[in-house]
Homo-oligomer: A and B are copies of this chain.
Amino acid sequence: MKILEERILKDGQVLGKDVLKVDNFLNHQVDPMLMQQIGQEFHRLFKDQPITKVLTVESSGIAPAIFTGLAFNVPVIFARKHKSLTLKDELYTSTVYSYTKKVSNHISISKKFLKADDVCLVIDDFLANGQAVEGLMDIVGQAGAKLAGVGIVIEKTFQKGRHLMDEKGIRVESLARIKAFEDGKVIFLDDQEATTHAVH
């Protein structure tokens, strides 16, 4: 997605070897106009699927997910993060390890909102090591629902998340795919490489 790549180049900040800070348009200050375009793009990519629910994890996934839900005209569920969980009876839960924060969180979705006949689209802001997406996939599985695919705003192709998804045969559509950070600059995977990668 051209407009997103341009925004990353303009406003993203590379920190160290593998961190991209996009807190001025995606995960602290948010650009609603860009989020709307992102939601429409996910709809264009997944409109062949009979999506009934859009799932994400609080908080940074909510803005792109809500516009995706709007484009599909379906509800959005954001999984809650918890340090610990005591009352689990009414919840589907999974455990998510954050490599950035080096802590495990539980995430949960109320059982009443996810049913076996749901077709789910998982949306998240980043795909790095794939832990948050795997947690949501786990919950979709517990509900016996179908996972139609995963929509990612920014993918870091050099971390293991994409590989994990490919291994499981999950369809992943990422709007910007970063193959490396070099000298503080963002290098995108170009379309030809992406095709080659997909053929592997």
Chain A interface residues (CB < 8 Å from chain B)? 23-25, 28-33, 35-36, 58-59, 62-63, 66-67, 69-70, 73, 75-78, 80, 109-110, 112-113
Contact = CB atoms under 8 A, between A and B. Distances in A.
A28 B73 contact: no
A69 B62 CA distance: 14
A70 B32 contact: yes
Closest 7 CB pairs of A and B: A32-B70, A58-B59, A32-B69, A59-B59, A62-B62, A29-B113, A30-B76
A105 B70 CA distance: 31
B66 A32 contact: yes
Instruction: Give the secondary structure class of A's interface.
Output: mixed
Contacts of A76: 29-30, 32, 63
A32 B70 CA distance: 5
A191 B59 CA distance: 35
Given A36-B70, A62-B59, A75 B28 contact: no
A139 to B, nearest CB: 13
A113 B36 CA distance: 21
Nearest to A109: B28
B23 A110 contact: yes
